[in-house]
Structure 1
Amino acid sequence: MLNKNNIRVIQLIDSLDAGGGERMAVNLANTLAEKVAFSGLVCTRKEGVLKETINKETAYFFCNKKRSIDFSAIKKTLSFLKSNNVEIVHAHGSSFFFAFLLKLVDSSLKIVWHDHHGNRVNETNHFKSEILKQVSRYFSHVFCVSNDLVEWSKTNLKTNLISHINNFVSPDTNQNISRNFKLNEPCIVCVANLRKPKNHFNLINAFKIIKNNDAYKSWKLVLVGDNKNDEYAQSLKKLISNSSLTQEVLILGQRSDVSNIVNQSKIAVLSSDVEALPMALIEYAMAKKPVVVTDVGQCAEVIGNSGKLVAPNDAKALAEAIQFYIENPTEANKDAKALHEKVNNEFNPNTIIEQVIQVYSSVI
């Protein structure tokens, strides 16, 4: 087995938008920079707000891929890998196909694939799913962020080297990010990209119930996440307007200072219909916030008895759970501290990084 200090690896990601998989790729690249001989991050298609969170010790390359098979991007990336003697490509999410193309040219490369897709079981793009299944024979290892994904991979992928791995929050992330943004009222925060599986409609309906009580007149709802201004986003804004909540709901879009916003908020929520292991939940816990989440994916396993778990798409239950924490700040603080301790123990970056390094060592 190779000494871990000789490991030379890059994290491969299609974009640097502020999604869970993207944040995990950056966390790994940054944390590994102090643990292995070489740690880099290659972004293939689109840069974004997370570029600001890449530490200076982490080598970074953007290949500017324009199409599914882009020979120029492949050539430039292989040059970057060769110049840094990279042996392992740790591909996240949909970047698996670009990793496969790299391996077709350089067969010595080892591919570790990391699946973050909370709704993989119900994937509607069957063509893309079939490509994944066929390409998986070239994977040296597969990491999955939930037990459901592990079972799906064992059933569908052409490799038996599959393991569950937890997400984690790097303590160094956002260290160079501006913290000038201020929240002046008590806020409920939701960190989730504006797309259907996150079900912001459920959250708005819950917030509408809460705002019917004059005692909560000063409270605001802050939505942080990618806003493509598509049909989903437009419908959500219409619901907000029709509910007379335009001044009460702040839609901030993608942010590089997520931790700053979470730290200033009073309560953190997720109202998703589908999740695997949401990065936001780990971030909430590490920020010592009382958490209200829907019972999907690994959420129940993460929070245990140290948060409020409600059924998905139940606005009344969601509102009641949030109101409990508003009305009982001592209980909210107690749960927040307990969840922080639980997550700090179970999702400790050092433990997870050691697990990753052991896999790297085994595939070379």
Structure 2
Amino acid sequence: MLRSLQIIDTLQVGGAERLAINYANGLSQLGVQSHLCATRQEGPLLKVLDENVEYIFLNKKSTIDFKAFLALRSYILTTKINVIHAHSSSFFIAVIMKLFIPHLKIIWHDHYGNSEFLNKRPKLLLKFCSLFFSYILSVNKDLRQWSAKNLHCKNVIYLKNFPVLKKATGSSTTLYGENGKRILCLANLREQKNQIRLLESFQQVASKYPDWTLHCVGKNFHDDYSRRFFEKLRKLDLNNFVYFYDSKTDIINIMQQCQIGILVSKSEGLPMALLEYGISSLAVICTDVGDCGELIKDNCYGILLEDDRSTTISEAIMAFIEDKDYRTGSAHKFHEMILRDYSEKPILTQVVDIYNQVV
């Protein structure tokens, strides 16, 4: 019997974290005994883990944490795990486990978000660890090519992300602003996600369409970028037009209150937020980074930004605001395409086939 363990650093609300949860939940419905391990930090996503998925939290304090290593080794031996599916940087602890338990098979899932800057990616440790990987799953084609060229594992494939939105328990978020006139940016507050440029763009939108509002949902890390974001918000006098909500788990509820979904990232892999916009029938605007262009396909399913200049972004937003038929038609086509090409079952079935192959 297949017994798989998804390993992820945290359960904070992020793309790789949501996908790890989706895998753990989805595989449990396909006859796989499914487990999930959070190594460093728990978070809101724990609330959407299915009851039939076994869970362990290591509370790992440092890169080398023998207490955490021994706890995970004991768990793997007790539950008879035979496949470790390691997401992002958790490949290191997966390799440590294989050194303890040689029969384990490691699938590494590469979610690297800075795929526009792969020439700067650290690779020494990853290259060594890749000697122990049975398979590498890459979330876009650039990452697949990079792994095939730079790492030792011979089995490298591109595997699509897939969105799953589950209703969260507990309180529901009520967005500010006028119904039918809300724009959502679902992204943690990071330099890569480029929210400061989005603020600059939205100043132009708000001056012309003051009844439309922008809603930023994502984790605030209280770092330098966060400080600059809120300073820019005050400087541009956008407090009555732009609202920040920090991390939320009731994403379905939030998206149902919005009409447009936007991402203006400097770099991406294949963003889960974009797929979730599609599931929720939002009209989408995004920069042409990572595999975003694969989704939007020359503006067939939304507006693909050629650059991240403020005027480029604001003009795209206003194009959707000014033409409701264009907005709703684009949203409908994108929704239908995501349902058709990025559905959960065929992707997870392919993963189960890979698990069976390596075991």
Q: 1:217 aligns with which of 184, 191, 210?
A: 210
Q: What's the Cα RMSD here? A: 1.5
Q: What TM-score does the superposition give when structure 1 sets the normalisation length?
A: 0.94
**Within 5 A, what are the aligned runs for 1:190-229?**
190-213=185-208, 216-229=209-222
The separation in 1 between residues aligned to 2:177 and 2:26, in whole angstroms, is 33
**TM superposition shift of 1:122:** 2.8
1:110 aligns with 2:111: no
**TM superposition shift of 1:69:** 1.3
Q: 1:260 aligns with which of 233, 245, 253?
A: 253
The separation in 1 between residues aligned to 2:3 and 2:329, in whole angstroms, is 43
- Secondary structure of the equivalent of 2:188? coil
1:30 aligns with 2:17: no
**Within 5 A, what are the aligned runs for 1:201-350?**
201-213=196-208, 216-304=209-297, 305-350=300-345
The separation in 1 between residues aligned to 2:74 and 2:120, in whole angstroms, is 32
Q: 1:274-320 deviations in whole A, cap 9, x for unaligned?
A: 01100000000000000011111111111221100112321111111
The separation in 1 between residues aligned to 2:205 and 2:174, in whole angstroms, is 25
- The residue aligned with 1:80 is 75
- Secondary structure of the equivalent of 1:34? helix
**TM superposition shift of 1:355:** 1.1
- Secondary structure of the equivalent of 1:350? helix
Contact 1:224 1:258 in 2 (8 A): no
Q: Number of aligned pairs?
A: 355
- Secondary structure of the equivalent of 1:50? helix
- The residue aligned with 2:92 is 97
Amino acid at match of 1:303: I
**TM superposition shift of 1:170:** 2.1
**TM superposition shift of 1:125:** 7.5
**Within 5 A, what are the aligned runs for 1:184-195?**
184-185=177-178, 186-195=181-190
Q: 2:141 aligns with which of 123, 142, 147?
A: 147
The separation in 2 between residues aligned to 1:138 and 1:322, in whole angstroms, is 47
The separation in 2 between residues aligned to 1:177 and 1:361, in whole angstroms, is 38
Amino acid at match of 2:219: D
The separation in 1 between residues aligned to 2:116 and 2:288, in whole angstroms, is 17
Judge which range, 197-206 or 133-142, deviates more.
197-206
1:161 aligns with 2:166: no
- The residue aligned with 1:3 is none
**TM superposition shift of 1:129:** 2.4
Relative distance call for 1:144 and 1:177 in structure 2 (3 A) is farther
- The residue aligned with 2:127 is 133
Relative distance call for 1:48 and 1:306 in structure 2 (3 A) is same
Relative distance call for 1:360 and 1:46 in structure 2 (3 A) is same
Note the residue ranges of structure 1 that are not aligned, 5 or more in a row: 1-5
- Secondary structure of the equivalent of 1:64? coil
- Secondary structure of the equivalent of 1:261? helix
The separation in 1 between residues aligned to 2:2 and 2:257, in whole angstroms, is 39
Q: 1:80-101 deviations in whole A, cap 9, x for unaligned?
A: 2222211000000010001111
Q: 1:3-40 deviations in whole A, cap 9, x for unaligned?
A: xxx21101000001111101100000011111123101
**TM superposition shift of 1:162:** 0.4
The separation in 2 between residues aligned to 1:350 and 1:175, in whole angstroms, is 22
**TM superposition shift of 1:120:** 4.7
**TM superposition shift of 1:247:** 2.4
Contact 1:286 1:343 in 2 (8 A): yes
**TM superposition shift of 1:175:** 4.8
The separation in 2 between residues aligned to 1:211 and 1:183, in whole angstroms, is 15
**TM superposition shift of 1:177:** 5.2
The separation in 1 between residues aligned to 2:119 and 2:196, in whole angstroms, is 22
The separation in 2 between residues aligned to 1:121 and 1:311, in whole angstroms, is 14
**TM superposition shift of 1:240:** 0.9
The separation in 2 between residues aligned to 1:197 and 1:180, in whole angstroms, is 26
1:181 aligns with 2:174: yes
The separation in 2 between residues aligned to 1:169 and 1:263, in whole angstroms, is 16
Contact 2:115 2:267 in 1 (8 A): no
Contact 2:173 2:254 in 1 (8 A): no
Contact 1:13 1:91 in 2 (8 A): yes
Amino acid at match of 2:131: R
